[in-house]
């Protein structure tokens, strides 16, 4: 029997989310089950991050239809840090296209820590991928704008559109990181020496440092993730931020590189593209379905939030989100209610 393309797409899609009320109680369950986890260490290489309360813990699921489910410390703001890399990358892909960005920034995992200098040397100065600092700095260098202010405005505007509200800089974090980011400045200089970035390297690092200091909540992260899940349209504001093709490219990058050198284990355990940041944020995307945002400062040795990973793994399992599953997840009744 001939199969229409539309039917193929439907068959490939592994089910729908459970009912609204079930998602609501599963988000609460994820928070309850992972709250007692005590493993991990709060980052202190950016001095002000060490002041975070290790007990802070928030979980949020934003569905592709705009429904939002929250549990825990959902109003606590923290710096977005490396999670900004995913969304700045999407903006740069939107501006320059798939091929230019793939060639200049790359897509492959380095297998080395996020701020590795050796990775640059081993790869002939190539930044490798946009989720490590070399690639992120090279990506920020490509943000549209002729001046530092124009580039900065593009980033704040773009990331705010992803979040559906105006994001602001945490000045204490920006100052603290600016005073201690010698390594990122060295990475930018090294890229310059290989001819891999065009603008002034220290100006690029300054913009990159500010983008990492943007304040978000777990809810913001979930909505930002849901925008990538929803083909580039923010499901809460209804506004298009980037194209569906850019979302697809960004999610592929996250699947390969989003959890630092633990990206393989992350994909194996959770089966979804995601990105973590050293302040304890974590965004995960279930294409076509939802974004998950979590926040909990204690990190594993690679820099991923321990409670965030546990809560996300739980939600991926109970909501049937793993993108490698070939059959719909059916432990729940099909979705009926929708307030």
Which residue ranges make up the annotated binding site for substrate? Answer: 82, 133, 177, 184, 208, 260, 278
Contact call for residue 115 and ligand GLU (CB under 6 A): yes
Contact call for residue 61 and ligand GLU (CB under 6 A): no
∠ Cα 103 104 105 (to 5°): 100
Contact call for residue 81 and ligand GLU (CB under 6 A): yes
Looking at residues 126 to 155 of the shown chain, list those that interact with ligand GLU (rule: CB under 6 A): 133
Contact call for residue 159 and ligand GLU (CB under 6 A): no
Shortest Å distance, C-beta 239 to ligand GLU: 27
For residue 188, CA distances in Å to 140, 144, 191, 192 come to: 11, 18, 5, 6
Chain length of the chain: 339
Phi, psi at 283, each rounded to 5°: -120, 140
Shortest Å distance, C-beta 133 to ligand GLU: 5
Shortest Å distance, C-beta 80 to ligand GLU: 8
Size of the site for ligand GLU (CB under 6 A): 11
Token pair, residue 134, equals: 């070399």
Handedness of CA 9, 276, 123, 198 (dihedral sign): positive
Give the separation between CA 38 and CA 21, rounded to whole angstroms.
Answer: 29
Shortest Å distance, C-beta 243 to ligand GLU: 26
Residue ranges at the known binding site: 82, 133, 177, 184, 208, 260, 278
Give the separation between CA 256 and CA 191, rounded to whole angstroms.
Answer: 22
Handedness of CA 82, 296, 223, 9 (dihedral sign): positive
Q: Return the residue of 278, 282, 292, 313 that touches ligand GLU, per CB under 6 A.
A: 278
Shortest Å distance, C-beta 4 to ligand GLU: 44
Binding site for ligand GLU (CB under 6 A): 81-82, 114-115, 133, 177, 184, 212, 277-278, 303
């Amino acid at each position: 029997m001939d199969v229409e393309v539309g039917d193929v797409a439907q068959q490939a899609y592994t089910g729908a989310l459970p009912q609204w009320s079930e998602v609501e109680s599963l988000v609460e369950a994820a928070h309850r089950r992972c709250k007692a986890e005590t493993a991990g260490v709060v980052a202190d290489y950016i001095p002000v991050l060490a002041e975070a309360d290790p007990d802070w813990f928030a979980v949020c699921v934003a569905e592709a239809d705009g429904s939002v489910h929250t549990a825990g410390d959902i109003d606590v703001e923290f710096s977005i840090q490396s999670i900004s890399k995913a969304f700045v990358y999407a903006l740069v892909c939107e501006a320059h296209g798939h091929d230019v960005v793939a060639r200049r920034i790359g897509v492959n995992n380095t297998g080395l820590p996020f701020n590795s200098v050796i990775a640059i040397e081993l790869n002939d100065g190539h930044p490798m991928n946009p989720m490590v600092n070399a690639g992120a700095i090279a990506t920020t260098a490509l943000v549209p704008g002729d001046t530092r202010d124009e580039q900065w405005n593009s980033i704040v505007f773009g990331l705010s559109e992803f979040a559906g509200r105006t994001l602001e800089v945490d000045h204490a974090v920006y100052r603290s990181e600016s005073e201690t980011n010698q390594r990122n400045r060295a990475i930018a200089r090294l890229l310059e020496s290989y001819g891999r970035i065009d603008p002034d390297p220290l100006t690029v690092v300054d913009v990159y440092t500010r983008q990492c200091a943007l304040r978000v909540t777990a809810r913001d992260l979930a909505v930002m993730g849901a925008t990538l899940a929803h083909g580039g349209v923010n499901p809460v504001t209804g506004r298009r931020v980037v194209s569906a093709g850019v979302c697809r490219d960004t999610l592929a990058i996250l699947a390969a590189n989003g959890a630092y050198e633990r990206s393989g284990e992350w994909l194996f355990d959770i089966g979804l593209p995601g990105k973590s940041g050293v302040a304890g944020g974590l965004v995960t995307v279930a294409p076509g379905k939802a974004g998950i945002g979590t926040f909990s400062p204690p990190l594993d040795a690679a820099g991923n939030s321990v409670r965030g990973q546990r809560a996300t793994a739980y939600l991926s399992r109970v909501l049937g989100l793993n993108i490698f599953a070939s059959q719909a997840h059916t432990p729940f009744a099909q979705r009926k209610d929708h307030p």
